[in-house]
Amino acid sequence: MQQIATIAELARIPWKEFVYRGRPAILVQSEDEIRAFYNICTHDGGCCALIGRDLVCESHGARFNPVSGKALSAPAPMGTFLTKISVRIEMGAVFVD
């Protein structure tokens, strides 16, 4: 089990990049939900950042829902999702397996 962040950290900055199983990943808090995804855009593998209310790909600007991971705009193919990573919240911290 790997600790990614504390709830207090996410209260200050609601997203954090990390590496999971050797691949880029992102933890994000939005609408009182804490989610993690592989940070690999479904268009061409770019990384996203939380900008406003959406995850936005830094390569070509595709937008993703930060709760579901669903693609919201091109050039990410519609109907695609960022791949979720299960998180566990215990004692004020966020963990992944």
- Asked if the bond preceding 75 is cis, omega within 30° of 0, the reply is yes
The kind and range of the H/E element at 8 are helix 7-12
Stretch that binds ligand FES, among 6-14, 26-34, 37-45, 89-97 (CB under 6 A): 37-45
Choosing from 60, 77, 84, 97, the residue that interacts with ligand FES (CB under 6 A) is 60
Does 26 contact ligand FES by CB under 6 A?
no
- Compute the distance between CA of residue 39 and CA of residue 83 in angstroms, rounded to an integer: 8
Binding site for ligand FES (CB under 6 A): 41, 43-46, 57, 59-62, 75-76
